[in-house]
Chains A and B, each alone.
Chain A
Amino acid sequence: KQEVTQIPAALSVPEGENLVLNCSFTDSAIYNLQWFRQDPGKGLTSLLLIQSSQREQTSGRLNASLDKSSGRSTLYIAASQPGDSATYLCAVSWISGSARQLTFGSGTQLTVLP
């Protein structure tokens, strides 16, 4: 079964720290991978999308990398701020999937302490 795992489930860091969130997936034949942010009681905001042919994507203080051979992606957040506190979800679309459906990890709940 194709699965996505995110560890740790929760992370707490002091403001200003650089941090890495991890995502692993069981099948390397992916179409793309998306990182989302979800604030409490809210919907999902897409942060970064990495195509299968890409190794990384950057947006501001965020950098996402992709290593298909090892089945891993990381989301790097530089100089963290309290406003970065949210749940971060990783989702994979596999080549074998129908209509490019996404399979989600259970998320990492990030708290940035002032």
Chain B
Amino acid sequence: NAGVTQTPKFQVLKTGQSMTLQCAQDMNHNSMYWYRQDPGMGLRLIYYSASEGTTDKGEVPNGYNVSRLNKREFSLRLESAAPSQTSVYFCASRDGYEQYFGPGTRLTVT
């Protein structure tokens, strides 16, 4: 099993550009999450999806949109990237109790 996969691993954007971060899990989990991690800080929740067809805002949703395409895939979109969105983005999925994390996408906005 691949677990949770994320693409791309690295990305550099110019201010105002848009992009979509992809996440997929092969563990048949219902819940999926997007977090961001900034230097010296823990992870903060951006959006989550409790089940296919539902999405909800987390702690820091401004500037982002999400799509739960199907049970496997949960994408994060930046419509107009800003330097404040420079961060490492992690996707996770959850079984009954535990969250499993992908390897992360390192995004730099110049």
Co-assembled chains A and B: yes
A residues contacting B by CB (< 8 A) are: 4, 6, 9, 32, 34, 36, 41-44, 46, 49, 51, 89, 91, 98-107
- Interface of A (DSSP majority class): strand
Q: Mark B34-72, 1 if CB is under 8 A from A, else 0.
A: 010000111111001110000010100000000000000
Query: Contact size class for B?
Result: 20 to 34
CB neighbours of A105 from chain B (8 A): 42
Chain B CB within 10 A, most for which of A42, A89, A101, A102: A101
Tally of contacts, chain A with chain B, CB under 8 A: 61
Interface pair A42/B103, CB less than 8 Å apart: yes
14 A–B contact pairs at CB < 8 A? A9-B40, A41-B106, A42-B104, A43-B102, A46-B101, A51-B97, A91-B42, A99-B49, A99-B94, A102-B33, A102-B45, A104-B44, A106-B40, A106-B41
Interface pair B97/A43, CB less than 8 Å apart: no
Chain B CB within 10 A, most for which of A36, A46, A104: A104
Interface pair A49/B43, CB less than 8 Å apart: no
CB neighbours of B58 from chain A (8 A): 101
